[in-house]
């Protein structure tokens, strides 16, 4: 019998009109940050919202709503790290939610598209060890990255 894991996704408010297609596709295919879950686990979206805009006013309250709906883990959408510039608050958001709500937070959803990887490499955005850790779950092979362009 398959297990079910209820997921909450918080997106950067710059992308508040995003329909979530890449995130949902990655979740269905266990790609990107969703590859951390084994294939015997069904993933179900139980919450989806934006951060509320800088500096993340919704971060303080949205997790409570998600938890009431059964969310077991919150993912910050890949847009937090691929946007220009990447979210400067992401580490603070993650720490706050994990400490205040005692729920794990995963940075990333869908694989980083190839076009964003190329630009951020040129800019040197993710050179630090901290950023390398943050993007690790969304890095994958080039073929998959291209399929998310």
pLDDT for 1 beyond 90:
no
pLDDT band at 2 (very low <50, low <70, confident <90, very high): confident
| SS3 assignment, position 41 | strand
Domains in the chain (CATH in brackets) are 3-147 (3.40.50)
Over residues 8-39, the pLDDT tens digits come to 999 999 999 999 999 999 999 999 999 999 98
Distance CA 113, CA 60 (A): 29
Over residues 41-69, the pLDDT tens digits come to 999 999 999 999 999 999 999 999 999 99
Distance CA 53, CA 55 (A): 6
């Amino acid at each position: 019998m398959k297990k079910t894991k209820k997921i909450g996704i918080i997106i950067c408010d710059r992308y508040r009109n995003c329909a979530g297609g890449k995130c949902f596709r990655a979740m269905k295919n266990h790609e990107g940050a969703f590859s951390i879950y084994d294939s015997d686990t069904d993933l179900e979206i139980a919450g989806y919202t934006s951060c509320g805009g800088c500096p993340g006013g919704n971060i303080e309250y949205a997790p409570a709503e998600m938890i009431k709906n059964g969310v077991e883990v919150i993912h910050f959408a890949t847009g937090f790290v691929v946007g220009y510039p990447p979210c400067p608050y992401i580490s603070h958001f993650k720490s706050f939610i994990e400490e205040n709500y005692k729920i794990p937070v995963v940075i990333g959803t869908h694989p980083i598209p190839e076009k964003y990887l190329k630009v951020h490499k040129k800019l040197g955005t993710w050179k630090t060890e901290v950023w390398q850790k943050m993007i690790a779950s969304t890095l994958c092979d080039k073929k998959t990255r291209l399929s998310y362009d």
